[in-house]
């Protein structure tokens, strides 16, 4: 099944396997494009491969940590708040 989407730089898509990616470059002279997967990996596709992909358009992900290849533990602080009324005040850490 051919997809119906015209590739545009900055548009986000999701494959039938659940992989999220966006188009980051188009080169019509050689009929290729570069896509960046959510995990940050960049891949080059030719236009024929693009037309054969089974994809749907999606909104850009709100969580960009996937493309930075970091985990919650990498932040160095516990980001979980115990209740909706809790807040983080950086001045609390100053002696």
Counted domains in the chain: 1
pTM assigned to the model? 0.64
Residue partners of 30: CB distance under 8 A and separation at least 6: none
Q: Is residue 93 part of a domain?
A: no
Q: Is residue 5 part of a domain?
A: no
Q: Which residues pair with 56 in a beta bridge?
A: 14
Q: Is residue 81 part of a domain?
A: yes
Q: Is residue 7 part of a domain?
A: no
Q: Is residue 19 part of a domain?
A: yes
Which stretch of 21-30, 40-49, 58-67, 78-87 has the lowest confidence by average pLDDT?
Answer: 78-87
Name the 3-class secondary structure at 55.
strand
Q: How far is CA 68 from CA 2, 30, 72, in A?
A: 31, 29, 11
Q: Is residue 92 part of a domain?
A: no
Q: Are 29 and 20 in contact (CB under 8 A)?
A: no
Percentage of the residues of the chain whose pLDDT score is greater than 90 = 55
Name the 3-class secondary structure at 22.
strand
Q: Is residue 95 part of a domain?
A: no
Structural domain boundaries, residue 27: 12-60+68-86
Instruction: For residue range 35-70, list pLDDT tens digits in order.
Output: 999 988 999 999 999 999 999 999 988 876 555 555
Q: Is residue 31 part of a domain?
A: yes
Q: What is the per-residue pLDDT for 2? A: 75
């Amino acid at each position: 099944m051919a997809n119906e989407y015209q590739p545009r730089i900055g548009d986000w898509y999701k494959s039938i396997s659940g992989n999220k990616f966006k188009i980051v470059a188009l080169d019509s002279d050689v009929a290729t494009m570069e896509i960046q997967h959510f995990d940050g990996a960049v891949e080059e596709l030719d236009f024929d491969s693009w037309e054969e992909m089974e994809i749907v358009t999606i909104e850009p992900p709100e969580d960009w940590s996937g493309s930075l290849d970091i985990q919650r533990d990498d932040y160095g602080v516990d980001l979980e708040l115990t209740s909706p009324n809790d807040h983080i005040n950086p001045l609390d850490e100053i002696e």
